[in-house]
Amino acid sequence: MQHRKLVERELTEEGPRRRNGAVKSRRSVTVNLGESPLGWLHAHGHLDDRLFDAGERLRADYERASLGPNVTMRWDPVRVKGTGDQGLTPSERQLSARTRFDGALKQAGKGLEDILWRVVCAGESLPVAERALAWPARSGKLVLKLALDRVADFYRIT
């Protein structure tokens, strides 16, 4: 379960002004800072369960493969012999996850791997990813859905 860290955010910095120059009351929303962009899209009905599960599998493989930034010291808990993924060593589990991650991105295809990595793995919101990729506003959701559909096919999620 995701951690909930709720904060209040204003929708506008200065607030819209009325004709007489007075400031209208400002509106604010409650935002969960612990929620991933993929989780937000799923919770608000923009992604179905299949696409959400595909994104979560991709993110899990990204993390298991240790592809994200690391510190120099490893703080992983000590593993007891006989537990884990069918007797694989930690290095073998990491290589297996890397192979699955690379295969999923290859299945998504050129041009779609960028949006997958930014939203699913790096946790960027869609507007931020669209700006970074120099895409038109509100185009990222459609492209992300196409990419996640191909990733779901790779992971054989029905």
Which pTM does this prediction carry? 0.71
Model confidence at 8, pLDDT cuts 50, 70, 90, reads confident
Residue scoring higher pLDDT (122 or 35): 122
User: Read out DSSP for 104-156?
Assistant: HHHHH-TTTHHHHIIIIIS---HHHHHHHTTPPTT-HHHHHHHHHHHHHHHTT
Q: Are 126 and 141 in contact (CB under 8 A)?
A: yes
Average pLDDT over residues 112-125: 93
Model confidence at 93, pLDDT cuts 50, 70, 90, reads confident
Q: Are 90 and 65 in contact (CB under 8 A)?
A: no
User: Read out DSSP for 72-104?
Assistant: SS--PPPPPTT-SSTT--HHHHHHHHHHHHHHH
Q: Are 127 and 141 in contact (CB under 8 A)?
A: no
Helix or strand or coil: residue 23?
strand
Model confidence at 66, pLDDT cuts 50, 70, 90, reads confident
Residue 32 pairs in a beta bridge with 6
Mean pLDDT of the chain: 82
How many residues are recorded in the chain? Answer: 158
Interatomic CA distance for residues 112 and 134, integer angstroms: 14
Look at strands 28-32 and 6-10 and give their pairing: antiparallel
